[in-house]
Structure 1
Amino acid sequence: MQSVTTAPTLAAMLVARLFGEFAVEVDGAPVALPASRKAVALLAWLAVHPGPHPRARLAAGFWPDVVDASARASLRSAVWALRAAGVDLRADRDSVGLADVDTDVRAFDRLVAQGDVAGAERVSRGELLPGVDSEWVLRLREEYEGKRAAVLGVLADRDPAAALDWARQRVALRPLDETAVRALLRLLVAAGDRSAARAAYTRFAHLLRAELGVAPERETALLAGSPPHRACRPKRRPAAWSAATPSWPS
């Protein structure tokens, strides 16, 4: 009798989109996500942090306000709901995780590393995980807003014909970023549109005072042809955070 060789079972490839509305595909087919917000949040976190993670830490991170037994039961329910939706979660007695997963966040980083800033801009349109206000999401959002702003700045430098549009998008993304505002002001002045430069500066000055209670720096005022404010804004940088380092949900 002829022997039959059984091919190894290949894990289903999961691709998650975090920019804009969260969406997931498995082997190219869209997944209907479960109704549970916690299950969806768990899936998003696992997509950003591939590999196995201890059940105890996941349960405590996603259900911090209940006793351990209830948190573990909620985790089991979330895992069941995700598996029922077609997500190939790797779950055993001690850990839960995703092995074969890719995300648009990771694609963005790859494209930037390859020098394809136009491609990186295309995959990063939309707010990252809108409507989710967990601490790990806020930090990831802040990180990738900064990275996207840098990409928009490079595009403005490389594409003179569309430089103003890229610069405006950069300011819209990070309206308190004085470096981005200065880049826009320089382009407006170079284009001979000093009235638009003054208007952009005025909006920035009002926003800065309303949000932080300080004034633009002297250099920014001079670029717009406006008299400098007496108070100057101190340097302010967001804290660095790496998506490669797990930040437990809170």
Structure 2
Amino acid sequence: MIRPTGGLLMSVYPSVHPAAMLGQRPGESGNCLNLFNGPSVISGGMRTEVPEGGKRVLAFVALSSGVVERRRAAGALWPDGDEVRAAGSLRSALWRLKCAGIDLVQADKVALRLRPGTTVDVDQLVTWSDRVMTGVPTAADLRISRWHIDFLELLPGWYEDWVIFERERLRQRLLHALEALARLLVDHDRIAEAIEVAMIAISAEPLRESAQRVLIEAHLAEGNMVEANRAFYAFRALALRELGVEPGNGLRSLIDQRKGRLARGYQHALTRRH
């Protein structure tokens, strides 16, 4: 099942880090900040939970490209109090992080900065998706053996506006990247893996027509017209039931064109026999 909001579900595989699924190795050359199903910190292969009072500061700085004005951070994280109280709350949160041995945020009177050398799993996902979507993946980028899309939910249970925006932005980027990955796998004649990736995208958003199209294209690339037909009509039934609309003409024409080619080929074969 998926949430009505379209968000990705929390994983039942909490020991698998997103960076590991993307062929990265967090925590060996410095600290890794994990915002998916987090926040938590991985250092030297060990996972450290972030104290409650410091979680939002750490996440806000990381999602602000690693540097943010101190006043802006305080105002966004403690919007209900006055400026003086918000500044005090920020100082308290930074102190809690240091007491927990998490020294990832460098603070001065003007700005907060993520300590140089800190790896953020969100950045790793964005970098991976950039390579896949631009068609220049590494061999490791095409590996899917440990993909669990329901693991990749940004800061689950957080509902501040700045989190919701980033969560949806990353969800859309991931879905586009999975579609691109499936097409790349088809190009590499790895059809079974392409079908699996397409189905992962569909499991996150069953009504996403572009993901359904990738699945159908993969079935057709393998010559499985029956499977392609089954996928189309299953999606059609879902779209009619949930939205009251038919699939787009482009998706239907994909099936119809292949049926037409098969029919012409069959007719040509019969003509040659006679």
TM-score, L = length of structure 1: 0.70
Structure 2 CA distance for aligned equivalents of residues 28 and 221 of structure 1: 49
Residue of 198, 215, 237 corresponding to 1:202: 237
Note if 1:83 corresponds to 2:109.
no
- Over aligned residues, Cα RMSD in angstroms? 2.9
Q: Secondary structure of 1:96's partner? A: strand
| Structure 1 runs not aligned, ≥5 long | 1-11, 226-250
For 1:1-250, list aligned pairs within 5 A. Answer: 13-36=30-53, 39-88=54-103, 89-100=105-116, 101-111=118-128, 112-113=130-131, 115-116=137-138, 117-118=141-142, 122=147, 125-157=151-183, 158=185, 159-188=190-219, 190-191=223-224, 192-193=226-227, 194-209=229-244, 215-223=246-254
Q: Secondary structure of 1:31's partner? A: strand
Deviates more, 1:216-225 or 1:78-87: 216-225
Q: Are the aligned partners of 1:18 and 1:104 in contact in 2 as well (CA < 8 Å)? A: yes
| Structure 2 runs not aligned, ≥5 long | 1-28, 257-274
Aligned length: 208
Q: Are the aligned partners of 1:50 and 1:97 in contact in 2 as well (CA < 8 Å)? A: no
- Specify the code of the residue in structure 2 equivalent to 1:60: G
Deviates more, 1:186-195 or 1:65-74: 186-195
TM-superposed CA distance for 1:27, in Å, is: 4.9
Structure 2 CA distance for aligned equivalents of residues 119 and 105 of structure 1: 18
Structure 2 CA distance for aligned equivalents of residues 73 and 175 of structure 1: 46
Change in Cα spacing, 1:168 to 1:204, as seen in structure 2 (3 Å) is farther
Change in Cα spacing, 1:99 to 1:21, as seen in structure 2 (3 Å) is closer
Greater per-residue helix proportion: 2
Structure 1 CA distance for aligned equivalents of residues 148 and 59 of structure 2: 17
TM-score, L = length of structure 2: 0.65
Q: Are the aligned partners of 1:50 and 1:99 in contact in 2 as well (CA < 8 Å)? A: no
Structure 1 CA distance for aligned equivalents of residues 180 and 121 of structure 2: 20
Change in Cα spacing, 1:81 to 1:134, as seen in structure 2 (3 Å) is same
TM-superposed CA distance for 1:43, in Å, is: 0.7
Deviates more, 1:64-73 or 1:105-114: 105-114
TM-superposed CA distance for 1:123, in Å, is: 9.4
Q: Are the aligned partners of 1:185 and 1:201 in contact in 2 as well (CA < 8 Å)? A: no
